[in-house]
Amino acid sequence: MRRSSWLLGVVLAVGLPLAAADSASPPKIAVDQSVRNFGAVRQGQVLELTYDVKNEGGQPLTLEVRPTCGCTVVDFDKTIAPGESGKVEAKIDTKEFSGPITKSVLVVSNDPERPTLRLLARADVRPVVEVLPRPIVRMGAVAGTDAEAKVVLAPAEAGQDFEITTIQSSVPYLTASFRKLGDGEMVQGHPGPQYEINLVLTKDAPPGMVKADITVRTTLNDAPIVGVKVVGRVTTVAAQAPIRPPLSG
């Protein structure tokens, strides 16, 4: 009996430093799944994100969460006890996005080995209003002359009646105007209503690269803003070499 008590005392004595070491270990952040892939989503859909965060350390884990552009933090656990789990909740409103997007939430913690952590969300936003033939327009011009291009805005699904309220260009030397297309003018295979956007790169454009954003505002709740990007170059005309008279014999 005395021998058993002695052995038990040895085991307890050995275990005490281990337990003390565990409780003294720093906080350690762990996320089960740091990337959320939503695949194809309809423009205007609100994506709800929930990330499970665990503290695998021996001291309380403190969190500070900061959203990036287009992402809103709804709620998060500011302190997570050792061995416990908490949550970070956020959402993304896709009404002003189109095409593949990647948004993130920055988590700042007191984990000495991993003080910052990015939680990602990816999606392919399918537009409610399409830009035909494509939302990126390439334009080129010679300095001192105008260049013109056109695109068409059409709803992606039938029954999406809308109007354009305003259209704006990010640079003064690229003008944009619109008009509603008649029944015989609309792009075949796409529902109406359709609007033609006329883009003019004016002769005042400076030589060099062209990079501009066209912002189209509509009456659709799910697509209040439709964007068109314009890229290209304005070149100068090289001076013509003088004509030399023929050499005399």
Alpha-carbon distance of 29 to 8, in angstroms, equals: 35
The percent of residues in the chain predicted with pLDDT above 90, rounded, is 70
Is residue 149 domain-shared with residue 74, that is, in the same domain?
no
Read off the pTM.
0.65
More confident residue, 227 or 11: 227
Is residue 42 domain-shared with residue 111, that is, in the same domain?
yes
Per the structure, the complete domain to which residue 226 belongs is given by: 129-235
With respect to residue 242, please indicate whether it lies within any of the assigned structural domains: no
Q: Residue 115 above 80 pLDDT?
A: yes
Is residue 66 domain-shared with residue 140, that is, in the same domain?
no
Q: What is the pLDDT of residues 147-202, one digit of tens each?
A: 999 999 999 988 889 999 999 999 999 999 999 999 999 999 999 999 999 999 99
Is residue 135 domain-shared with residue 226, that is, in the same domain?
yes
Is residue 231 domain-shared with residue 133, that is, in the same domain?
yes
With respect to residue 248, please indicate whether it lies within any of the assigned structural domains: no
150, 177 contact by CB (below 8 A): no
With respect to residue 245, please indicate whether it lies within any of the assigned structural domains: no
Number of structural domains (the chain) is: 2
With respect to residue 13, please indicate whether it lies within any of the assigned structural domains: no
Alpha-carbon distance of 157 to 54, in angstroms, equals: 43
Residue 12 confidence (pLDDT): 44
Q: Which residues contact 146 (CB under 8 A, 6 or more apart)?
A: 200, 201, 202, 203
Using the 3D structure, point to which of 92, 126, 160 is the last residue of a domain.
126
Using the 3D structure, point to which of 100, 126, 152 is the last residue of a domain.
126
Rounded average pLDDT over 11-24: 48
Residue 10 confidence (pLDDT): 43
CATH of the domain at 31: 2.60.40.10
Q: Residue 111 above 50 pLDDT?
A: yes
- Which phi-psi region, left, alpha or beta, contains residue 173 (left: φ > 0; alpha: ψ -120 to 50)? alpha
With respect to residue 39, please indicate whether it lies within any of the assigned structural domains: yes
Is residue 151 domain-shared with residue 226, that is, in the same domain?
yes
